[in-house]
Amino acid sequence: AAVAAHEEGFHERKGGLRLSGDSSAAALTGDGHTGRQDLGGCLGWPEPHCAPFRGLLNHPALIPIVEDIVGKGYRLDHMPLVLRQEKGAEGFHLHGGATMADGEWDHSLEYSCRHGRVHTMLLGMTVQLTDVGP
* 20-50: pLDDT as tens digits: 655 556 777 888 888 899 999 999 999 999 9
Residues 6+ apart with CB under 8 A from 29: 20, 90, 91
Element holding 21 (H helix, E strand): none
Q: Residues with Cβ < 8 Å from 98, sequence gap 6 or more?
A: 105, 106, 107, 109, 110, 111
**For position 2, what pLDDT does the model report?**
94
Q: What is the dihedral of CA 18, 5, 63, 134, to 10 degrees?
A: -60
pTM, two decimals, is: 0.74
User: Is residue 95 pLDDT above 90, yes or no?
Assistant: no
Residue 69 · residue 119 · CB < 8 Å: yes
